[in-house]
Amino acid sequence: MFENLRLAGAMAIITLTSDFGLVDGYVGIMKGVILSIAPESRLIDLSHDLQPQAVRQAAFVLSRAVPFFPVGAVHLAVVDPGVGTSRRPLLVITPNAKFVGPDNGLFTFALDGPDAQAWLLNKPEYWLPQVSRSFHGRDIFAPVAAHLSAGVAPDRLASPLLDPVRLSHLAPVREANGDITGQVVYVDRFGNLLTNIPAGWLGGRRWECEIGGMRIAGPSDSYGAAPEDSLLLLISSSGTVEIAVRNGSAFKRLALGEGAEIHLLPI
């Protein structure tokens, strides 16, 4: 009996991701809406200080966090430059998770996974009675996330959607001569440059990296493996190639950000 309660209550996790910031109370408002509908839900913030309207940045943060949440979690994300236009409201369901937010590519990584389903949210009876033009996070996405979390079936909330929006991929390339070319896909708080090159491509050998006119040999074992202030080629905690500065910022040192090219040559 308690086991059922535990499953019903504890499993109802809803994560929240947005560019709303934490000053104005918008995130709290979405939580109030959710708790009004699904009082047992567990609300976990991923990030709310994403750059305004930076869909690609938000997609990266979300995609990196989702694998660490229990199966069945609902992920509400609102970075939504098209709010109030004809941009569609989206639900994505995968075997492991549910995603609610704008149809602008934010959930590309989920749509690209196995057995993903896209749904168009088109049942206003599950939204707030009045839908504003500028705060669909409160009026559409929060109530839908809450109803999903409370067990409402997707086909009561939405209809299948065939053509959800996808972001173009920045994909790393293995060239014929063995070199690798990739891109910086995210700059974190520490100024570490995260790339899209999988660690597995390095094959356990040593490489020379060219980025921003600098050359770095690696990978190094850890941040502590280099002198203070020197550039490092590392394997990030997400299993991709990362450029860092020990006790410093590679972002400031190289003056490079998202989209910057990185080349790896075998030594």
- Which residues bind to its own copies, rule: CB under 8 A? 2, 5-6, 10-11, 13, 15, 17, 20-29, 31-33, 35-36, 39-40, 42-50, 52-53, 61-62, 64-65, 68-70, 73, 81-85, 132-135, 138-139, 186, 188-190, 221-225, 234-237, 239, 247
Q: How far is the CB of 160 from its own copies (least distance, A)?
A: 26
Which C-beta is closer to its own copies: that of 183 or that of 238? 238
Q: How far is the CB of 213 from its own copies (least distance, A)?
A: 25
Nearer to its own copies, 35 or 116 (CB): 35
Q: What are phi and psi of 154, to 5 degrees?
A: -50, -40
Q: In terms of CB distance, is 152 or 265 closer to its own copies?
A: 152
Of 140, 127, 30, 24, whose CA–CA distance to 84 is shortest? 140
Q: How far is the CB of 105 from its own copies (least distance, A)?
A: 16
Q: Considering beta carbons, is residue 44 or 265 the nearer one to its own copies? A: 44
Nearest residue to 121 via CA among 85, 155, 80: 155
Residue closer to its own copies, measured from CB, 242 or 264: 242
Greatest extent of the chain over all pairs of C-alpha atoms, in Å: 63
- Residue 254 CB, shortest distance to its own copies, in Å, is 18
Q: Is the Cβ of residue 28 or residue 178 nearer to its own copies in the bound state?
A: 28
Closest distance to its own copies from the beta carbon of 73 (Å): 8
Helix axes 26-37, 142-149, angle to 10 degrees: 40
Q: How many CA atoms lie within 13 A of 28 on its CB side?
A: 4
Distance of closest approach, residue 36 Cβ to its own copies, in angstroms: 5
Judge whether 144 and 121 are in contact, CB under 8 Å: yes
Q: Per-residue b/e over 181-218, b at no fewer than 16 CB within 10 Å?
A: ebbbbbbbeebbbbbbbebeebeeeebebebbeeebeb
Structure tokens at 102: 């704008």
Instruction: Report the nearest approach of its own copies to the CB of residue 129 (Å).
Output: 12
- Residue placing its CB nearer to its own copies in the complex, 119 or 193: 193
